[in-house]
Amino acid sequence: MALSTDEIMRLSLDLVDWEETPADSQIYVPGDGIETALVGIDLESPEIQLAAREGYDLALAHHPVGESARLDFTGVLSRQVAFMTAHGVPEAEAESAIENLRENVSLGAHSSNYRHDPSVAELLDQPYMNIHLAPDEIGRRRFVEITDRMDEGASVGEFVEELERIPELGEAATDVEVRVGSEANSLGTVAVHHAAGTNGGADVARAYFENGVDTVLYIHVGASDARELREEYDEKTLVVTGHIASDAIGLNVLIDALEDRGVSCTTISGCSIGRS
């Protein structure tokens, strides 16, 4: 069954029971009759040209590349506040924790060439879209399921072992890493901080730690943020699952759903991790 780009976006939302397309996801060049797709975590100008040359009906990226998905990316950062307040962080403190992040993202988007990759797809008449938040939400829910079934008194090391049972994490070239604290630490209360645009850096992790959370899960973290937190905490823990492997968790669910509906998907740029 051939699908349109609108139907593919709708499919991604249905997988997480959402109604509205998130600000970080967009159809750049619409298409109909899609039976083949080149799918990757990062598909930019070279991959768009590859899709056009090889005759794919769609180039489907995970990460946002331009237009409103880049310019309005700050619209998804409010989820960071929601995640923090759900774990006991006062709303004013949570808003303060993402103030610098929100400004950095906004200024970066404003200075970017938001037309670059979409304009290449337009010139080639190559259907092109990105779907970011919904697959990440699928991955977040998978992490929460593991967190919820951990035994009381479990160690961080036991948590890492359970995470690595996820095929995408277990088969990746990267490992699940403890960037702050130790695997010997008690797992305690866990906050899964994923599917909110990007990681919250040191400020968000600190807000969790100062409000009763023992372990924070990010999928990636900057070196300076990790060093800053290590100087302040040793009994708290920051677990990092790996960016590309973690992104692949939700994308693989989306790819399976597309193939179930007759769209043949060729995976590149990280999407093949964890696929049999």
Residue 173 DSSP class: S
pLDDT at residue 266, rounded to an integer? 98
Give the pLDDT mean for 218-243. Answer: 98
- 32 CB-near residues (< 8 Å, 6+ apart): 2, 4, 5
- Tens digits of per-residue pLDDT, 17-31? 999 999 999 999 999
pLDDT at residue 26, rounded to an integer? 98
Confidence label for 275 from pLDDT (cuts 50, 70 and 90): confident
Q: Are 269 and 247 in contact (CB under 8 A)?
A: no
Cα 199 to Cα 245: distance, rounded to the nearest angstrom:
15
**Claim: this prediction has a pTM higher than 0.85:** yes
Strand-pairing partners, residue 61, are 40, 130
- Of residues 41, 30, 34, 48, the one with CA closest to residue 64: 41
- Tens digits of per-residue pLDDT, 34-47? 999 999 999 999 99
Strand-pairing partners, residue 186, are 155
Q: Which domains does the chain have, with CATH numbers?
A: 5-132+247-268 (3.40.1390.30), 137-245 (3.40.1390)
Amino acid making up residue 125: D
DSSP string, 71-129: HTGGGGTHHHHHHHHHTT--HHHHHHHTHHHHHHHHHHHHHS-TTHHHHHHHHHT--EE
Cα–Cα distances (Å) from 51 to 89, 264, 271, 275, in that order, read: 45, 13, 15, 21
